[in-house]
Amino acid sequence: MASSTLPSGTVEPDVRARIVDVADRLFYARGIQSVGMDEIRTGAGVSLKKLYAAFAGKEQLIAAVLDGRHDYWEQGVHGAVDAATTPRDKLLAMYDFLESWFGDETFRGCGFINAFGELGATSPVIAEIAREHKDSFQRFVQGLTADAVDDTALAEELAAQLALLAEGAQTTAAIAGSTAPAVHARRAAETLIDAATRV
């Protein structure tokens, strides 16, 4: 009869997910450096031994939290874009997602920008995770602009501009506590898209 127990040192997936969820909420609300592993252990209702069996150190836990944030971002942006029909509407749908996200009472800015701001200078691992997240968004936007603009160089430049608008809107919205930056970014994006598609 096969044993139902996990190998020594392995943590159940639901326990691991609970630890990540608690860490994500605490890190995002208060900042990574202000939250200790003991507080995460208490919030997740696990022993310190189990916490460290799941994550060898805080950096590994931060990486798992950011992995979840990446999935959340991709689902939101891709969902909004997939619901749109024309290439132009797909590009603008990104900003509609931002406006919805900025309106969430828990919104505290981009988790990757926040993590990079706190740890980018001291943790090459976290810095690289943040860069890859931003690079993946840039590639996604570039795929959308390629469908809207025939000229490859112009499509690449438009993608850089539209991504920058989205990034700036996130930071501004976090500081201002308002959804307005998404609206302004969308209007600016309309101007840029229309100019690029007229060429």
Looking at per-residue pLDDT, the higher value among 10 and 5 belongs to 10
Q: Is 197 exposed, middle or buried (0-12, 13-18, 19+ CB in 10 A)?
A: middle
The one-letter code for the residue type at 30 is: R
Pair 69, 153 in one domain: yes
Q: How far is CA 55 from CA 50, 52, 101, 171, in A?
A: 9, 5, 29, 30
pLDDT per residue as tens digits for the range 15-26: 999 999 999 999
Binning pLDDT at 50, 70 and 90, where does residue 11 land? confident
| Residue 199 confidence (pLDDT) | 59
Domain shared by 87 and 185, yes or no: yes
pLDDT tier, 7 (very low <50, low <70, confident <90, very high otherwise): very low
Instruction: State the average pLDDT for the chain.
Output: 94
Q: What percent of the chain has pLDDT over 70?
A: 95
- Total number of domains constituting the chain: 2
- pTM for this structure? 0.90
Count other Cβ atoms within 10 Å, centred on residue 65: 25
Residues 178 and 88 in one domain: yes
Spatial separation of the C-alpha atoms in residues 177 and 157, rounded to whole Å? 30
Asked if 27 and 113 sit in the same domain, the reply is no
- Residue 17 and residue 84 in one domain: no
The yes-or-no verdict on residue 54 having pLDDT over 70 is: yes
Q: In terms of domains, do 52 and 125 share one?
A: no
Q: How far apart are CA 68 and CA 74, in angstroms?
A: 10
Closest to 181 (Cα-Cα) out of 83, 67, 98: 98
What's the Rg (C-alpha) of the chain? 20
Question: In sequence order, what are the residues at sequence separation of 6 or more whose Cβ sits closer than 8 angstroms to the Cβ of residue 90?
Answer: 81, 84, 144, 147, 148
Query: How many residues does the structure list for the chain?
Result: 199
CATH code, domain with 77: 1.10.357.10
Give the residue numbers spanning the domain of 88: 65-198
Which pairs from 54-61 meet CB under 8 Å and 24+ separation?
54/11, 54/15, 54/16, 54/19, 55/19, 59/123, 59/125, 59/126, 61/19, 61/20, 61/23, 61/37
pLDDT of residue 10: 74
Least confident of 3-7, 16-20, 67-71: 3-7
Buried b (16+ CB within 10 A) or exposed e, 69-89: bbeebeeebeebbeebeeebe
